Structure 1
Amino acid sequence: MPKSLSADIKNDIKSALLAGKDSMEVANRFRVTYATVNNYANKFFPNRQRRLGGRPMVVSAQTKRFIKLQVLQGQLKTAREVHGKLMELGYYISYKTAINVLKSMNFFAAIKVKKPLLTAKYMKRRLAWAKKHQNWTTNDWRRVVFSDETKVNIWGTDGSWVR
């Protein structure tokens, strides 16, 4: 069973951590292990902020705010445009890093939703058709043939390969 630390040392560790000392520095000062200091830090301050791992961001917070504003205003629409803008600003980073910058600002890639080309004229026609057929009975609808197996291209091909 490991020996427990005295109340004085625990309080000294707590005050050193409150003063902003590094865990390794506190461990060396009180001649305890780094893990012991971290265990006590977790016990004393359960919601403490820890350093994030990994390499620090190359792009500054100010530049990220500028890019975020440009994206929200619609001046930069794609990751390629953001990458180009960052290159203009002197950040010589890869395209993937530009994507990571966007992700860090909670932006995500979205494919444009395909929807039917509806003009006001088509919408009026649809509404008129719906109103005309609104009171149809089940027997009326039984006389209609519904088929989802037919594919009709109105404006050219859909670009798929055919054999």
Structure 2
Amino acid sequence: MPKSLSADIKNDIKSALLAGKDSMDVASRLGVTYATVNNYANKFFPNRQRGLGGRPMVVSAQTKRFIKIQVVQGQLKTAREVHDKLMELGYSVSYKTAINVLKSMNFFSAIKVKKPLLTTKHMKRRLAWAKKYQNWTTDDWRRVVFSDETKVNIWGSDGCN
């Protein structure tokens, strides 16, 4: 059966944790194990807020807010521009870190959808066509045969051409 800690050590653990000391520091200072300190911390402070752990972010929260505003306003459009802005602000970060900063603010990359380039002439012709057939009924459209010269094979292919 494990030996119980004295009231003095328990009080020392409690006061050190209340002072904001790290569990590992408290354990080494008092000569008890890290697990013991954590067990008592969970017992004394069941709702304590724990650190998230991991490496701290290089880019500050204030800089992230600044970058977010610039992205939303359209001043920074690509991750490369964000990376250049971070370098300009004095952060020596990689391009991948710039992408991670954007992801942490819920900005994700996407490939731009390709659309046909419409000239003014195209737009006028499309509008004229739409106005011409605007009042057609469903029966009128049933009489139209749409042909785009595409061959559709239902039962397999015709092989390589």
What secondary structure sits across from 1:92 in the alignment? coil
Task: Give, in whole Å, the separation in 2 of the partners of 1:123 and 1:5.
Answer: 86
Measured in 2, the distance between the counterparts of 1:121 and 1:28 equals 81
Change in Cα spacing, 1:122 to 1:53, as seen in structure 2 (3 Å) is: same
Q: TM-score, normalised by structure 1?
A: 0.65
Is it true that 1:48 corresponds to 2:30 in the alignment? no
Amino acid at match of 2:21: K
Residue 59 of structure 1 deviates from its aligned partner by 2.4
Number of the residue aligned with 2:157: none
Cα gap change, 1:10 to 1:133, in 2 (>3 Å): farther
The alpha-carbon deviation at position 60 of structure 1 amounts to 2.8
Work out the CA distance in 1 between the residues paired with 2:149 and 2:48: 59
Equivalent residues in 2 for 1:19-38, closer than 5 Å: 19-38=19-38
Please state how far the C-alpha of 1:20 moved relative to its aligned partner.
0.5
- The residue type equivalent to 2:60 in the other structure is S
Cα deviation for residue 149 of structure 1 reads 8.6
Consecutive unaligned residues in structure 1, runs of 5 or more? 152-162
How many residue pairs get aligned? The number is 147
In the alignment, which residue of structure 1 is the partner of 2:158? none
Within-5 A mapping of 1:75-154: 75-114=75-114, 119=123, 122=126, 125=129, 129=133, 132-134=136-138, 136=139, 141=142, 150=150
- Range moving further from structure 2, 86-95 or 17-26: 86-95
Q: Percent identity?
A: 73
**Which ranges of 4 or more aligned residues in structure 1 deviate by more than 3 Å?**
1-12, 113-131, 143-149
Q: What is the Cα-based RMSD across aligned positions, in Å?
A: 3.7
Does 102-111 or 114-123 show the bigger shift? 114-123
